[in-house]
């Protein structure tokens, strides 16, 4: 019997798996194959986006998987083109996915230079009311961006997906999220290409449990109450990442990884970057 990830309740009444798979920059064929493999391993959360250009492949995998639609949690995102008409943006997502609804739709970036993200949020609330998506949230929003949404609508995002890993643990953002019942989802959870996975402290923790450095870092995310979405198209690595669910770090080990915080890590500034 396939082991599944526990689910985290969302404020809107649904629940999201505690670990998922990212899909950028895979193309439609690659992402279809990866998702089908991930489903066999036990993953039930897939993260895609309009700008990844692979929603069609994700949708095909969901339909071909043999799994009940309600058992798979599909997250997608729309870009700044749709901040003025979020309902149309979500309808575009669903058209490319060839699915009747998404489980979670996120505003991909706030793009404050446009100053339309409140309008986009109002449209996303409407999309949820129409049944186009079961949950709604944001991606790369700073606390001040989210606060504007709450002040304008009285509705907080159910999820905010942000860049987060031991090099940049986003303490202030996570505290803000917790105050408002927002689940923190981690993109770039392994900080690929930055030296995190090769860091001696990470290896020391991994060796203590006879696991890979990636598993140690993903276990850190899970024990912090974060929801990581690592990306891999390799079956062994997909299985390895998923197995982090069964790993328990000691408090000292978790603190060791948290202490890796680095001012040298490049954090994307959503006041100045977005699409």
CATH at 48? 3.20.20.100
H helices present in 42-142, as ranges: 55-64, 86-97, 117-129
Q: Read off the pLDDT of residues 244-261 as tens digits, 9 standing for 90 and up.
A: 999 999 999 999 999 999
- Give the count of alpha carbons within 13 A of 188, CB side only: 21
Determine the pLDDT at residue 2. Answer: 82
Determine the pLDDT at residue 274. Answer: 86
Whether 159 shows a pLDDT value over 90: the answer reads yes
Q: Read off the pLDDT of residues 43-88 as tens digits, 9 standing for 90 and up.
A: 999 999 999 999 999 999 999 999 999 999 999 999 999 999 999 9
In a domain, 259, yes or no: no
State how far Cα 133 lies from the chain centre.
16
What mean pLDDT value characterizes the chain?
97
Tokens of 225: 């109450």
- Of 108, 268, 78, 258, the C-alpha closest to 188 is 268
How many other CB atoms are there within 10 angstroms of residue 154's CB atom?
Answer: 8
In a domain, 201, yes or no: no
In a domain, 30, yes or no: yes
Determine the pLDDT at residue 50. Answer: 98
In a domain, 274, yes or no: no
Mean pLDDT of 147-163: 99
Whether 24 shows a pLDDT value over 90: the answer reads yes
Tokens of 33: 């194959």
* Beta carbons of 244 and 215 less than 8 angstroms apart: yes
Instruction: Report how far apart the first and last C-alpha atoms of the chain are (Å, whole number).
Output: 41
Determine the pLDDT at residue 268. Answer: 83
| Between 85 and 274, the higher pLDDT residue | 85
Determine the pLDDT at residue 263. Answer: 79
- Over pLDDT 90: what percentage of the chain? 93
Confidence of residue 264 (pLDDT cuts 50, 70, 90): confident
Whether 103 shows a pLDDT value over 80: the answer reads yes
DSSP letter string, 114-142: T--HHHHHHHHHHHHHTTSBS-EEEES--
Catalytic residue numbers, as ranges: 52
In a domain, 64, yes or no: yes
Whether 269 shows a pLDDT value over 90: the answer reads no
Mean pLDDT of 28-55: 99
Integer Cα distance of 80 and 89 in angstroms: 9
- Over pLDDT 70: what percentage of the chain? 100
- Of 149, 186, 169, the C-alpha closest to 22 is 186
pTM of the model: 0.97
In a domain, 213, yes or no: no
In a domain, 255, yes or no: no
- Give the count of alpha carbons within 13 A of 72, CB side only: 25
In a domain, 93, yes or no: yes
Determine the pLDDT at residue 217. Answer: 99
Which residue carries 């692979």 as its tokens? Answer: 54
**Which residues constitute the domain of residue 99?**
7-191+220-248
173 CB-contact burial (10 Å; exposed 0-12 / middle 13-18 / buried 19+)? buried
| DSSP E strand stretches across 127-212 | 136-139, 159-163, 183-187
Helix (H, G, I), strand (E, B) or coil at 194: coil
Integer Cα distance of 143 and 150 in angstroms: 10
- Give the count of alpha carbons within 13 A of 260, CB side only: 29
How many other CB atoms are there within 10 angstroms of residue 95's CB atom?
Answer: 12
What is the number of structural domains in the chain? 1
Between CA 239 and CA 248, with CA 244 as vertex, the angle to 5 degrees is 155
């Amino acid at each position: 019997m396939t082991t599944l990830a526990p689910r985290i309740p969302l404020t809107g009444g649904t629940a999201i798996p505690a670990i998922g798979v990212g899909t950028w920059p895979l193309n439609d064929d690659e992402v279809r194959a990866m998702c089908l493999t991930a489903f066999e391993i036990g993953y039930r959360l897939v993260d895609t986006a309009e700008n990844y250009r692979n929603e069609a492949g994700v949708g095909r995998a969901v339909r071909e998987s043999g799994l009940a639609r309600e058992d798979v949690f599909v997250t997608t995102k729309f870009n700044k083109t749709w901040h003025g008409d979020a309902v149309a943006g979500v309808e575009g997502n669903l058209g490319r996915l060839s699915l009747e609804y998404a489980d979670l739709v996120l505003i991909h970036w706030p793009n404050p230079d446009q100053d339309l993200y409140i309008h986009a949020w109002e449209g996303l609330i409407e999309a949820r009311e129409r049944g186009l998506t079961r949950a709604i949230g944001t991606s790369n929003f700073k606390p001040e961006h989210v606060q504007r949404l709450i002040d304008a609508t009285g509705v907080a995002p159910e999820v905010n997906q942000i860049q987060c890993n031991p090099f940049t643990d986003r303490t202030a953002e996570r505290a803000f999220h917790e105050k408002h019942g927002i689940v923190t989802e981690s993109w770039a959870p392994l900080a690929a290409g930055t030296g995190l996975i090769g860091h001696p402290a990470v290896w020391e923790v991994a060796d203590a449990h006879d696991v890979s450095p990636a598993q140690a870092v993903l276990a850190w995310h899970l024990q912090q109450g974060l929801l990581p979405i690592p990306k891999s198209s390799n079956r062994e690595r997909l299985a390895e990442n998923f197995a982090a669910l069964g790993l328990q770090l000691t408090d000292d080990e978790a603190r060791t990884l948290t202490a890796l915080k680095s001012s040298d890590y490049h954090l994307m500034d959503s006041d100045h970057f977005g699409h």
